Amino acid sequence: MDPLTPDILYMRMALREAEAAAREGEVPCGAVIVLDGEVVGKAHNQTETLNDPTAHAEILAITQATQATGNWRLNGATMYVTKEPCPMCAGALVLARIQKVVWGMTDPVRGGAVSKFQILDHADLNHAVEVETGLMEAECKAVMQGFFQELRQAARERKRNGEQPEQGPETGPRKQ
């Protein structure tokens, strides 16, 4: 067992958000923003619910945090997120001046931070975001994999029953 550090506590909070997303039929990604030891933003992916491709956990958490602090510059803030941010969210982290991002699972196919696109590691951007990866990676992966397994299972059952496929999150473990 990992010792119960603040990092672990905040990532657990992000994981609970990801689980809430899964229950709502959303790709399970959760994000928490901490500033001066206080949670100022906490959200999960709501792309399907809000019918909005920008309603990723990170974006919703940033909006909450800027509302809570009355400042769109989140200098000194840390974001805990279950999965490596996509290019859009990585861009938002830079614009929001977030100091550090900590994530669980890396996304080698679509990751926008350091994997597929290196938005958080770009010399030409006016703000650099520190990166820490692999915190509670196994738990973060398990939530994602469990969600897509259930989706595939449901799709197989619908096919067996001769029903039409349902609209919903695209299948494939790395899509968001």
Residue number with CB closer to Zn ion (46 or 69): 46
Is 24 labeled as catalytic in the residue annotation? Answer: no
Q: How many residues touch Zn ion (CB under 5 A)? A: 3
> Which one from 58, 132, 157, 170 is the annotated catalytic residue?
58
Binding range to Zn ion, per CB under 5 A, among 33-41, 68-76, 81-89, 158-166: 81-89
Residue number with CB closer to Zn ion (131 or 154): 131
The rounded distance, in Å, linking the Cα atoms of 73 and 96 is: 5
- Which helix (H) or strand (E) segment holds residue 102: the answer is strand 100-105
User: Per rule CB under 5 A, is residue 86 in the interface with Zn ion?
Assistant: yes
Q: How far is the CB of 69 from Zn ion (least distance, A)?
A: 21
94 half-sphere exposure, CB direction, 13 A CA radius: 20
What is the longest distance spanned by two Cα atoms in the chain? 55
User: Per rule CB under 5 A, is residue 42 in the interface with Zn ion?
Assistant: no
User: Per rule CB under 5 A, is residue 56 in the interface with Zn ion?
Assistant: yes
Bridge partners of residue 42, in order along the sequence? 32
Spell out, one character per residue from 89 to 118, where the chain touches Zn ion: x when CB under 5 A holds, - when not.
Answer: x-----------------------------
The answer to whether 60 touches 43, Cβ cutoff 8 Å, is yes
DSSP per-residue codes, 21-89: HHHTTS---EEEEEETTEEEEEEE--HHHHT-TT--HHHHHHHHHHHHHT-S--TT-EEEEEE---HHH
Q: How far is the CB of 1 from Zn ion (least distance, A)?
A: 30
Q: How far is the CB of 142 from Zn ion (least distance, A)?
A: 20
Binding site for Zn ion (CB under 5 A): 56, 86, 89
Q: Active-site residue numbers? A: 58
